[in-house]
Structure 1
Amino acid sequence: MRYISKTRLFASSMLVSVSVFGLAIAANAQEATFVVSAQNVGTPSYNPINGTQLNDAITLIFDRMVIQDADQTFHGQLATEWESTADGMSWTFKLREGVTFHDGEPFNAETIVWWIPQFAETENAFMTAAIESVEVIDDLTVRFVMANPDPNLLSNMSSGFMSIPSPKAFDALGDDFGVTAAVGSGPFKLESFTVGQETVLSANEDYAWASDLSKNQGAPHIKTLTFREISEDSTAFLELSTGGVDLLYSVPTDFLPRLEGEPSVQVGTMPGTGLFYIPINTTVEPFTDIKVREATAFAINQKEILDNLYGGVGSVANTFLIDSLLAANVDPTLRISYDPDRSKAVLEEAGWVMSSDGVREKDGTKLQVALWTQNGTEFKRVTEVVQAQLKAVGIGADITVFDSATINDQYRKGTDHQLAVRSYSWANADIIDWFFSGQRLGYPNVSMWNDPTAEEMNLAAMSGSHTWEERVANFTTYHEYVLSQYVFAPIYQPVQIYAYDKEAISVPEAIRGTRLQSQTVVDITVN
């Protein structure tokens, strides 16, 4: 209206052109650019069913049956109500009415009948393995008949891997789904995707089914949202401080003083859901020897890394699970904490003798190993400290840095790697299954661990639990056995730190969810 009022003496043709120009400016003003977490750089696809690595845009393209709040409670998204029978052998879900996919196809009970079987024989099959069949009660009601109780069903359904795609598009695109196109029912539509570079989304103007965790129940305020992939933290920081991007999903703690010194930058924190650790390849020498694995685990000075690299922000990791999970409450004697004397003594017991160059030897062979990591400032810095800490007990380590888009393929070879520095972000004990199951050797089971006792415990934890309490007990037992075999070394539990340009966008003070996901993004406005 401002442009029209200033041009009333112009010809009608001029009024039209100026009005169009004004609308273009208004549309441009609703654009924003976010930077994905460094650990998710190189995500190869937006296929939630077949994917093993997804980035922060997945929950914007797709909806899920339920979503989880920061307090771990579950809220309906595509499901509005649910109930389970007392024996856990049946779950009934009421579905949201009026939902359509980006291609105009309806979401209904038949969608669920199609969706669940798609997980069979994929890396994510365990998420639906307990569901024997899906029954249609009516167009908006389904019943899951269970092969066995799964007290973790709601948690699985809140995962980005259980986002629901359009059946029509999924079947039509085949292996290209998630690469050339990704069709969901979420608040944003996929416009373009270049692996390792950027993803461009546009607002789904028909969106009218946000969960009760979102204040905005309609289309997103941001009309064009670009996700950039920047592996170097210093580059991402520079882009934010100079106005090149509007929000960083992840900020290393050592950048906090610099960011807090930027008047236009607002920093926020959330409870952490992840952990840095060192998988140990149990199938290659010298790590077939449990004593060498034990020595490696106790050589890591977690407190030094916390204090010197992270400024004391976050906490040390002594197990494989984040502290907030009940299955992290293991026998204290099994926790892995820095003990260089124990590390050196165990190496001596295993026959590895210190040599003049500070690297141990045994039968003429040096204790020199390969230490892998991926691109990104944080990964490289942690890996360099780990290298020094290993050298302090007599283990030499040669660092190799891989592009994050290719490192998983390298792991799948199985025998080339020995140690690595990795991280995960997952607020559920079933992450132990994901990284240590004998069914997934190479990747994601980078430790190449295939132990019959562990497999029995895994089965009991994943599919033999009838109640939540029983599941916690089974996972605690499984977790304790993993710790006792030294198939990894824990390092650090980060908090989630994000930062944004407060002059460019406004972010809700309370982040609803375990991560910065769709329920909060739809409430972000452009200033």
Structure 2
Amino acid sequence: MKKRRYGGLATIGLSVTLLLAACSSTTGTNSAGTSTPGTAPHSAAAPKQAGDGGTLVIAAPVEPDTLDPQKTTWLDSANSQPYDSLLTRDMQGKLMPHLAESWQVSEDGKVWTLVLRKDVKFQSGAPMTADSVKASIERFSKISPNKDLAGPIERIEAPDAQTVKVYFKEPFAPFANMLVGTFLAPFDPERLKEKGEQFGEAPLATGPFMNPEVKRGASVAYVKNPEYKWALPYAENQGAPHVDKIVFRFLKDDDTRILEFKKGTIHILQEVPSTYVQELQSIPGTKIETSMEQGMKYLGFNNQKEIFKDVRIKQAIAMAVDREPIVQYALSGFAKPIYGPLPPTIPGYSERIENMAKEMYGYNVDKAKQLLAEAGYTDSDGDGIADKGGKPLSFELLLPEDPALQRVAQILQSQLKEIGVDIRIAVHDTATVKDRAIKGNHELFLLYFGLSDPDILYLLMQTDNSKRVHYSNPKVDELLAKGRTTMDEAQRMKVYEEAEEILVKDPPWVPLYVSESVTATRNIEGYKLNPFTSDILFADIRITK
């Protein structure tokens, strides 16, 4: 789950791209999803028009480790093209059919029944069947590094060619989120049998693009699937893509990416640095597209450390943070300040909780100093750093190699010094940050998360899963477990709101901002990004020049 520069689920961040779409309309006790009037009909490919054909080139920020969505820790547009999801969400976030034409959840929430379309074929020409869907879900549950996301699956059945039943040991509401992405995409069973663990080298599935050509360190290219007739229901083009080929180029250096875009060799430039936006806007044929991330950046505490067991220390640090300069100077205005545990782009966000958090932790240097003094920390020697028993209030701030985060860190360093907290900035490669965080060998850190379901709080804050902030609160554990098993959407959101209130009063972190991702497009038309699935509708894009 736009694809963001995040690590895998088990690494330092949980990407909105990695983790599919928002679970904002999970089913009730016995609800079914069906095709709705007004959605685009499933039809054959549109007649060729003047803008059809050509090669669409995208500058992608990260090269995927594999094209097998069940083995990767990084899932985005570059390795999703051969695949389709079973369900999707429209541009307003409503859960909709895709390869599954309908779905139903049993009254006890333990059985999900999917009825598949009959006209879908794999890129080999073989029909998609319930057995192939069953095999794909079983494989994910067995081999994927992210298999826990599928929940407590007990067994899967395919009673006929178009029906799949997934049985759970207990109700699992986030499963809708899994059905929306390509983790559980159906694989061609013959290719899977042929390639096995090496399926990602030559994948065959049902998607709009196929036959990948991989040039490690440089690019991955696909050709269109000419028989494609089962596009996302909200796409204008229900047939094969307009372009003949799509190429993802992996250019790590920002200056190189910008230069290539200016030369006209790139049509879509993802993750545009905010400092380049004004310059790119002046290029003829260029459009700037923005979207808010389904996640946020935060200043995390290692709550295992003795000093952070005093809530006054954490609250003082939170009050010392002024988010406006961070947004304006570190991010050139392309972000939104956030105070509560969930941003507005993730279901479960509560305006009441956000306002409460903002009132509690709005920028207040005097109050922050007062809290530190109550905790016994004052500047006894006049060096500008608060101390207690001769020990200064000094922390290492750990962060990955990201220029924007480094700018944020420098601002935080200056702000925290105002209340007498000394910050030592430590920038490391991602692997080092990951290793130190898991081992608890850190104090403060700057990281990010993204998931389009409030279950992200379970993955970050539940005692057994809290591998970054190392947080533990029995009441929070109880509520987050309840959120996973509550199938009624309205009731489920109330559960998360209760948990969020505790996380505000006993903060495991300091929420900072939601980034606004910037994409530049040039000489194309039809570009659209679904804000709830982060899917770019490549099939609708035509090259204009």
TM-score (norm 1): 0.82
Give, in whole Å, the separation in 1 of the partners of 2:398 and 2:253: 17
Aligned to 2:304: 283
Aligned to 1:525: 542
Give, in angstroms, the shift of residue 109 of structure 1. 0.7
Aligned to 1:392: 418
- Aligned-partner SS, 2:238: coil
Give, in angstroms, the shift of residue 435 of structure 1. 2.2
Give, in angstroms, the shift of residue 513 of structure 1. 5.0
Cα 1:138–1:103 change in 2 (3 A) is same
Give, in whole Å, the separation in 2 of the partners of 1:86 and 1:351: 55
Give, in whole Å, the separation in 2 of the partners of 1:478 and 1:373: 27
Cα 1:164–1:481 change in 2 (3 A) is farther
CA deviations on 1:85-128 (whole Å, 9 max, x unpaired) are 44534332211224344466542111232233334475534433
Q: Which has the larger radius of gyration?
A: 1
Aligned to 1:61: 82
For residue 84 of structure 2, what is the amino acid of its counterpart?
Answer: D
Give, in whole Å, the separation in 2 of the partners of 1:341 and 1:470: 40
Aligned to 1:458: 480
Greater shift in the superposed pair: 468-477 or 46-55: 46-55
Q: Note if 1:35 corresponds to 2:59.
A: yes
Give, in whole Å, the separation in 1 of the partners of 2:433 and 2:57: 27
Aligned to 1:514: 532
Q: CA RMSD in A?
A: 3.2
Aligned to 1:124: 146
Aligned to 1:5: none
Q: 1:344 touches 1:393 (CA, 8 Å); kept in 2?
A: yes
Give, in whole Å, the separation in 2 of the partners of 1:49 and 1:492: 31
Give, in angstroms, the shift of residue 271 of structure 1. 4.6
TM-score (norm 2): 0.79
Cα 1:385–1:357 change in 2 (3 A) is same
Give, in whole Å, the separation in 1 of the partners of 2:368 and 2:115: 55
Cα 1:441–1:466 change in 2 (3 A) is closer
Greater shift in the superposed pair: 329-338 or 168-177: 168-177
Aligned to 1:3: none
- Aligned-partner SS, 2:440: coil
Aligned to 2:520: 499
Give, in whole Å, the separation in 2 of the partners of 1:496 and 1:523: 21
- Aligned-partner SS, 2:207: coil
Cα 1:371–1:108 change in 2 (3 A) is same
- Aligned-partner SS, 1:470: helix
Greater shift in the superposed pair: 58-67 or 48-57: 48-57
Give, in whole Å, the separation in 2 of the partners of 1:282 and 1:196: 39
Q: 1:232 touches 1:375 (CA, 8 Å); kept in 2?
A: no
Identity %: 23
Flag the structure with more relative contact order, 1 or 2, with Cα contacts below 8 A and sequence separation at least 6: 2
Q: 2:270 touches 2:519 (CA, 8 Å); kept in 1?
A: yes
For residue 30 of structure 1, what is the amino acid of its counterpart?
Answer: G
Cα 1:423–1:232 change in 2 (3 A) is farther
Residue 358 of structure 1, aligned match among 384, 387, 391: 384
Q: Note if 1:95 corresponds to 2:116.
A: yes
CA deviations on 1:283-326 (whole Å, 9 max, x unpaired) are 23543443332222222211222233344444211112122555
Superposed, 1:310-459 pairs within 5 Å as 310-325=331-346, 327-329=348-350, 330-331=352-353, 332-335=355-358, 336-354=361-379, 356-404=382-430, 406-407=431-432, 409-411=434-436, 413-442=438-467, 446-459=468-481
Aligned residues: 489
CA deviations on 1:224-252 (whole Å, 9 max, x unpaired) are 32223345545433332232422123334
User: Unmatched 5+ residue regions in structure 2?
Assistant: 1-49
Q: 1:69 touches 1:75 (CA, 8 Å); kept in 2?
A: yes
Give, in whole Å, the separation in 2 of the partners of 1:117 and 1:352: 55
